[in-house]
Amino acid sequence: MSDLKELKKIEKFSDQCMKCGFCSFFCPVYQEEKMEPSVARGKNYLIKQVLQGKQEFTEEMGDIIGKCLLCKRCAANCPSKTQIDRVVVGARAQMVKDKGLGFIKNFAFRKVMANKKAFGRYVKLAKAFQWMLPKTEGKIRHLPDFIKALGAGRNIPALAPVFFHDQMKPLYKTQDGQKPKMRVGFFMGCATDFIYPDLGFKLIDFLTKRGVEVVVPEDQNCCGAAIYFSGDLETGRILADKNIKAFKDLNVDYIVTACGTCSSTLKDYQKYLPDTEDQQKRYEEFEKKIKDSTEFVIDVMKVPLEDFKLRKEFEGKTATWHDPCHLVRYQNIKDQPRAILKALKGLKYVEMPNADLCCGMGGSFSVYHYDLTKKIAAKKMDGIKATGADIVVTACPGCMINLIDNVLQNKMTQKVYHFLELVE
């Protein structure tokens, strides 16, 4: 018999729901499926039934709880401010506690992703075989139908020829050789490390050019987003502790990352993971140091807007901004990137309708529900088309991967970039 420990932790959030159904207008999954279990109210109801001993955690219930992007559109628009993300993560944690992770997730999360060296070895192995996949366009690969687990017909980015951690230095001094104004740690994150290492070097170049010294600890790990959002809080805590330790004695003012999901995940260790008061305290301390690249350059460094210069290859282009859920709703970051894009001379900025609509990625959601991901992304694509923009700019490598896939699936001409790729 389950002790329902994880569910009891989130009961107070679940109690906030007054069943108004307002969330149904905002939930991307409900908008496609039009079924009550798809939306926050329905999920919350089922979880309450379990808490009251009226419902078992069946396999079907696991599927319902799994079918959530954790995009927080429901929470952001809920009159009761119900934190459905915490309810869903708590329910997933209870499922993991009662039923285990299953072979694939157990292997991926605990044996591979929880250990940076092992993770690097497995990704290198995958890189050795990626020549077998056809190239679709540039660095994008079109997954053949036989790789069903990743979604038939999906376009995925090629792994970088050399990973970030294999070419980085532990310390980057200021470029003018002067005493640094600030010293920051760089958190690379898996996508920057294995797919987009240039993003890491572009951020380091931007910072060191402007008097910030950057230190990159080698023993940092995956942020743990896919792991703890899937309910594996135990491995999430292992990664949190490893990352806190990696940056602990570096004497840095802040820890900066180029990935919106990583910055949000590192900040939110204190929300989703603590099991003890000591963990709560340590995760809260860690949160204070974390900054997303977009907020760091605007809010902390206070780089004057006229100091952002557009790279030559983007001159004359029209750009639009896609709000990653992990920036706009998890961190309330929306004005900073827009201010940068609007300030870039030579670039025309057009606001996208529904810019804050989830792209449909949702981490492992897109692996298990790829058809739904494509339907949700189709609305994002309509928004992009309506702008007439040549380029879509964002600040989360996860969104970039999904946007690129869907732009190609829809035979659109737009290119997708991280804001760091646009600026000098």
Catalog residues that contact ligand SF4 under the rule CB under 6 A. 17-23, 26-29, 39-41, 44, 68-74, 78, 80, 82, 84-85
User: How far apart are CB 24 and ligand SF4 at their closest, in Å?
Assistant: 7
- Give CA–CA dist 28/321, Å, rounded: 19
- Give the residue from 409, 420, 366 showing the smallest Cα distance to 137: 409
- Give CA–CA dist 52/44, Å, rounded: 12
Name which of 185 and 383 has its Cβ closer to ligand SF4. 383
Residue 142 neighbours by CB under 8 Å, 6+ apart: 133, 134, 135, 136, 153, 154, 155
CB atoms within 10 A of CB 337: 26
User: How far apart are CB 49 and ligand SF4 at their closest, in Å?
Assistant: 15
Name which of 31 and 318 has its Cβ closer to ligand SF4. 31
User: How far apart are CB 361 and ligand SF4 at their closest, in Å?
Assistant: 12
Name which of 20 and 162 has its Cβ closer to ligand SF4. 20
Name which of 78 and 327 has its Cβ closer to ligand SF4. 78
Name which of 26 and 308 has its Cβ closer to ligand SF4. 26
- Give CA–CA dist 56/51, Å, rounded: 9
Name which of 48 and 385 has its Cβ closer to ligand SF4. 48
- Give CA–CA dist 250/184, Å, rounded: 9
- Give CA–CA dist 153/121, Å, rounded: 26
Mapping DSSP to helix (H, G, I), strand (E, B) and coil, where does residue 96 land?
A: helix
- Give CA–CA dist 381/346, Å, rounded: 25
User: How far apart are CB 398 and ligand SF4 at their closest, in Å?
Assistant: 15
User: How far apart are CB 87 and ligand SF4 at their closest, in Å?
Assistant: 9
Task: State the amino acid at position 188 in one-letter form.
Answer: M
Residue 50 neighbours by CB under 8 Å, 6+ apart: 4, 7, 56, 57, 61, 91, 94
CA distances to 88, 95, 115, 237, 316 from 231, in Å: 9, 7, 18, 11, 46
The runs of H, that is alpha helices, within 130-196 are 190-194
Name which of 39 and 207 has its Cβ closer to ligand SF4. 39
User: How far apart are CB 269 and ligand SF4 at their closest, in Å?
Assistant: 19
Name which of 213 and 268 has its Cβ closer to ligand SF4. 268
User: How far apart are CB 88 and ligand SF4 at their closest, in Å?
Assistant: 6
User: How far apart are CB 7 and ligand SF4 at their closest, in Å?
Assistant: 17
